């Protein structure tokens, strides 16, 4: 049989976890879709803790000596299920990101070539890629690389400041 003390501890823990998750969803840090499985798990555990009799019956049915052990067992199984679903979601997500990156890559033309095209301004040089390389020489290529690095830096700076702005906004809420 479960002691009242432990019953209370478990109950408080469940309530705290529940409030924490609701708050996360409220702040949009956690999507409701993924929070639902946690809610179901907490409600299941809550029922077991509040009505220890169901626990005794279930424990007996499953051949477990101590009802508390059964709480841990059930909680463990549920957690494993959630983790598994999470890995499945993660796999799908990474496939989607990959696909998106590939499509974005196909939409962008190679910018390095475009730069050279502008500098030379001649169609023939662009048509024959090798000619461009030969005439442009090393310094220009380096400039190109530096240009890229600069652009990348700017892009990163922009995203960083966007992030900072996002954080600020969150804090305001």
Size of interface with another protein, in residues (CB under 8 A)? 14
96 binds another protein (CB under 8 A): yes
28 binds another protein (CB under 8 A): yes
33 binds another protein (CB under 8 A): yes
Q: How far apart, in whole angstroms, are the C-alpha atoms of residue 124 and residue 137?
A: 17
Each residue 8-27 as x (binds another protein by CB under 8 A) or -, in order, gives --------------x--xx-
Q: Cα–chain-centroid distance for residue 72?
A: 28
> Two tokens at 52?
């220890």
State which of residues 103, 108, 123, 172 lies at the interface with another protein (CB under 8 A). 103
Half-sphere exposure for 33 (CA within 13 Å, toward CB): 3
Chain positions 38 to 77 lying near another protein, rule: CB under 8 A, are 39
Minimal distance, residue 3 CB to another protein, in Å: 33
Q: How far apart, in whole angstroms, are the C-alpha atoms of residue 129 and residue 133?
A: 7
Q: How far apart, in whole angstroms, are the C-alpha atoms of residue 95 and residue 87?
A: 12
State which of residues 32, 43, 47, 51 lies at the interface with another protein (CB under 8 A). 32
What ranges in the chain are assigned the alpha helix state H? 4-26, 32-50, 52-62, 67-107, 111-120, 123-127, 129-172
Note the residues at the interface with another protein (CB under 8 A). 22, 25-26, 28, 31-33, 36, 39, 96, 99-100, 103-104
């Amino acid at each position: 049989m479960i002691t009242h003390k432990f019953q209370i501890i478990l109950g408080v823990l469940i309530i705290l976890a529940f409030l924490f998750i609701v708050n996360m969803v409220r702040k949009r840090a956690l999507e409701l879709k993924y929070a639902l499985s946690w809610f179901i798990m907490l409600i299941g555990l809550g029922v077991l803790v509040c009505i220890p009799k169901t626990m005794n019956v279930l424990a007996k049915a499953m051949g477990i000596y101590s009802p508390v052990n059964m709480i841990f067992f059930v909680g463990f199984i549920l957690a494993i299920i959630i983790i598994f679903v999470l890995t499945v979601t993660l796999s799908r997500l990474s496939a989607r990101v990959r696909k998106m990156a590939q499509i974005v890559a196909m939409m962008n033309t190679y910018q390095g070539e475009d730069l050279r095209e502008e500098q030379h301004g001649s169609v023939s040089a662009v048509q024959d890629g090798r000619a461009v390389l030969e005439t442009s020489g090393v310094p220009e290529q380096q400039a190109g690389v530096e240009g890229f690095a600069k652009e990348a830096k700017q892009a990163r700076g922009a995203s960083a400041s966007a992030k900072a702005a996002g954080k600020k906004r969150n804090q305001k809420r």
